Amino acid sequence: MFEWATTAEGWIALLTLTVLEIVLGIDNIVFISILAGKLKQDMRERARKVGLSLAMIIRILLLLSITWVMQLTTPIFEVAEQGISGRDLILVIGGLFLIAKSTHEIHDKLEGEEGHASAKVHASFTGVIIQILLLDIVFSLDSVITAVGMAEDVSVMVLAVIVAVGVMLVSAATISDFVERHPTVKMLALSFLLLIGVSLIGEGFDQHIPKGYIYFAMGFSIFVEMINLRVRAKSAPVHLHQPYTE
């Protein structure tokens, strides 16, 4: 079972898969952070831990039932001469859910009534976990199918998932706090989720959008936003100490 540990190829596969799982898990962390932010302060950390733990459990279960997962790629019906498989259905539904949820959150931030925003009715813990679970399934399915194409040993894939989720658990609180402190970063994160939703729908209809393009766009946007935050941080003290003039 662990014969891979005696070969350099096995360790390279483990490292590559772990990095891939962490990169693919960034959108998972962002989504969980935004949903957890709707809970009361004392419940957010527990929601993040439960959400990421569910993501790990789902991915491991999918890896252990890899034969069934790969059968999901078999077309079950056609639409306009386009074969639609079980995986395609899950990706399209997940993409639509992600777009709808992101659009709702953006609308709430930009167009929500002042009274509604100030009242800030907290979401229920169960409701947030159910939403996280639904997206965990979609993200995990895409991640597992990608992993299967890169490694042959299930134990390598399972270990990569465990290590990656461990890294995400450690960094989730820092990322969540940063997103909550900076409204523009939160809006940017919601825009990323919209982009990922469109990408999932494209994947569902066999219109492959290279992940490199998506992550480059995200990385460049984050780079620009980091510059904006630094500029605002440097200019803030100047404004605070400007002399009062009539």
Q: For the whole model, what pTM was predicted?
A: 0.66
Token pair, residue 71, equals: 């059968």
246 domain-assigned: no
127 domain-assigned: yes
pLDDT at 27 (0 to 100):
73
Q: Give the count of domains, the chain.
A: 1
Q: What is the pLDDT along the chain (246 residues), one digit of tens a residue?
A: 566 666 777 777 778 778 777 776 777 777 788 888 788 888 888 888 888 888 888 888 877 776 676 667 777 877 777 788 887 888 888 888 888 888 887 887 776 554 344 445 567 888 888 888 887 777 777 667 666 666 667 777 788 888 888 888 888 888 788 877 777 877 887 888 788 888 888 888 888 777 777 778 877 888 888 888 888 877 765 444 455 454
Residue 55 is classified by DSSP as: H
243 domain-assigned: no
pLDDT at 5 (0 to 100):
67
244 domain-assigned: no
94 domain-assigned: yes
The values of phi and psi at residue 206, to 5°, are 60, 25
Q: What is the domain range of residue 92?
A: 7-237
Q: How far apart are CA 24 and CA 28, in angstroms?
A: 8
Tell me how crowded residue 29 is: count the other CB atoms within 10 A of its CB. Answer: 23
Looking at this protein, which amino acid is placed at residue 84?
A: I
pLDDT at 146 (0 to 100):
64
200 domain-assigned: yes
pLDDT at 70 (0 to 100):
63
36 domain-assigned: yes
pLDDT at 140 (0 to 100):
76
145 domain-assigned: yes
Angle at Cα 72 formed by Cα 66 and Cα 76, nearest 5°? 155
CA-nearest of 140, 173, 172 to 158 is: 140
